[in-house]
Structures are given as C-alpha cells and as structure tokens.
Structure 1
Amino acid sequence: MERISYQDIPEGMFESLMETENFINNSTLGIHLLELIRLRVAQKNGCAYCVDMHHKELQHLNETDLRLSSLCVWQETPYFTDKEIAVLSFTDSLTKLSRESIPEDIYYPLTTFFTKEEICYLTLAIAQINTWTRLMKTFKFIPGNHKVQGYETAQ
C-alpha cells in the first residue's frame, strides 16, 4: 500500500525533478546509457518501482533479455562494453558512497570515453536516479504499473 499517493506530493516537486530529468536526457550521453544507469541504481537501492520502470524502458529500447537479467551481476559477465563497464563501476561507487572521494581507478576509466562535461552529466544522472529511488522507497508507489509512453509491454 502506498504511504504517500501522487496526489499527496507537493505541487511542483515532481515537475522540478522532471526538469532536471529532461536536462539530463538532452545531454550527449544517450537515453540507452542513461536507462542502464537508472536500472542499475534501482537494483542497488532495491527500488521495485524503479526497477520495473527502467527495465521496461530498456526493453522498449531493444535491450537484450540476457543483458537485462545480468545487469545485477555485470562484473561477472562479458556482456557489457568497456565504456559501459566504466559507467557501471562509477554508478555503483557513487550510489554506495563512502567517506572517501571516488577512487582514481573508478574515475579515470571514464576519461577514456567521456569529456569532463559528460562526466558531469553522468554524475548528475546517477544522483538524480538515487533521488527518485529514495522517494519511491519512502512513498511506496506500487510497482508493475509503468507503461512506456507510446508502447505496451507485456506484464
């Protein structure tokens, strides 16, 4: 059961978050990579609502079942590119923060594939989905109801 319904959320709160979401989506990172980040953060944070949403979004983007089912164990698979591995490593590190800075061995592989500007976008994208997962875990929105805009997915 939801603790806080959509109607209970302060006016403008989700709209403000969506402005940031749109800002990130319009970056040069590409929606597929962003959705991969979003699904991984949702998995790390145990957010069923967000896992459902971003799994469906990636299906719509023609992500393979093999990669979708293996994302939770990406370090043990050969299915991800070096670029994706650098991003997933950064995503995991930034999602489970320690008191130390992001280690050099996590940061520097990003510089092979991304400009400083793009690393800024990556950081914001990871922070943003972490915000969403924390909201959903607090509000307890019910998973399973997400519909990809303009696309029906099998339930």
Structure 2
Amino acid sequence: MKVRLNHISASPGALQAMMKLEGFIKTSGLDAKLYEFIKIRASQINGCAYCIDMHTRDSRKMGETEQRIYLLNAWREAPFYSDKERVVLELTEAVTRISEQGVPQDLYERVRAHVDEAEYVAIIMAINTINAWNRIAISTGMFPEKE
C-alpha cells in the first residue's frame, strides 16, 4: 500500500481547521473515553483502517478494556455498555449514516435523557469531526503501520 499524498504538507491550513475542531471537543467537557468510542464506531462504519487502528490504541492507553473495544461493532448485543454509551453509539451510527434516515426524533429524545443541550452539540461535533478525519484518511490513502 502506498499513501496517495501527505495531506499535512499539501495543505497545512486544512490540518489547522481540523485541529480547531479537535480543540473545541477537548474543551467541551465531553468524556475522553466516550469520544474514543465515537471515533472507533464511526471509523468502523466508514471502513477507515487507519483511524480504527489509531483510536483502538488510544482507547487502550486510556485504560479501556479489550472486550469493550472488540465488541463496539456489536454493542447492541453486548451487555458491557452504559445506557448513555448505548444512545451515543446509536447517535454516532445515525449521524454517520445520516442519508439513510436522518436522526429520528425518538433517538434525539433518548440521547437528551442523558445529556444537556451543550453536550448534545459536543457529541454531534465529535461525530462530525471523526467522519471528516475518516474521509481525509481514506481519500489520501492512509493506512495503519504494522507493529
């Protein structure tokens, strides 16, 4: 495999824009472990091997269990996630696949039962940010390095 282009050197301004999004999320109060779950789940849906590799490693470094990481793509069938994590993962799927059915009102209401308006916006921004990173990585041909 060969990277198509180095997006950082090709357009440093694009990287700066993405880093501003990351900065917003980091200062939003969104739980860092939950953000990693959002990143992993969206990356699984989008098929971004580079991001899946990066964020599963980051999640492990934060102390997340292997079992919870491995089962993210089957979170509905696994009893290891909190109610809040479940609705955020469902929202992650809905926003990542937004053209299929949007974000249904009942999902919005279930998420809002666990978060206030500001955290809802932070979660939406987190989902949008990882989707943008996935599209950058896939479009430029990024892939994980072998250990």
TM bracket (short chain): over 0.9
> Cα offset for 1:109?
1.0
Q: How has the CA–CA distance of structure 1 residues 40 and 7 changed in structure 2, closer, same or farther, with 3 Å as cutoff?
A: closer
Counterpart CA distance in 2 for 1:79 and 1:50 is 23
Counterpart position of 2:72: 71
**Other-structure match for 2:23:** 22
Q: Which consecutive aligned stretches of 4+ in structure 1 deviate over 2 angstroms post-superposition?
A: 6-9, 98-101
Aligned mates of 1:78, 1:66 — CA distance in 2: 11
Report the CA distance shift for 1:99/1:7 in structure 2 as closer, same or farther (over 3 A): closer
Offset of 1:35 from its aligned partner?
A: 0.8
Q: Which residue of 1 aligns with 2:126?
A: 125
Give the equivalent residue in structure 2 for 1:32. Answer: 33
Given residue 93 of structure 2, which amino acid in structure 1 is its aligned partner?
Answer: D
- Quick check: which one's helix share is greater? 2
Pairing of 1:4-153 with structure 2 (within 5 A): 4-6=5-7, 8-98=9-99, 100-144=101-145
Q: Equivalents in 2 of 1:53, 1:35: separation in Å?
A: 10
SS of 1:113's equivalent in the other structure is: coil
CA RMSD of aligned residues (A): 1.4
Residue identity (%):
33
* Structure 2 residue runs without a partner (length 5+): none
5+ residue gaps, structure 1: 146-154
Cα deviation digits, residues 132-154 of structure 1 (max 9, x gap): 00010000112137xxxxxxxxx
Q: Is the 8 A contact 2:71 2:78 kept in 1?
A: yes
Deviation per residue, 1:53-90 (Å, 9 max, x gap):
10011000111010011001111111110000010000
Q: Offset at 1:100?
A: 4.6
Once residues 133 and 113 of structure 2 are traced to their aligned partners in structure 1, the CA distance between those partners, rounded to angstroms, is 29
After superposition, the Cα gap between the structure-2 partners of 1:100 and 1:66, relative to the gap in structure 1 and judged at 3 Å, is closer
Q: Is contact 2:94–2:102 with CA below 8 Å preserved after alignment?
A: no
TM-score by length of 2: 0.93
Q: Counterpart of 1:29 in 2: which secondary structure?
A: coil
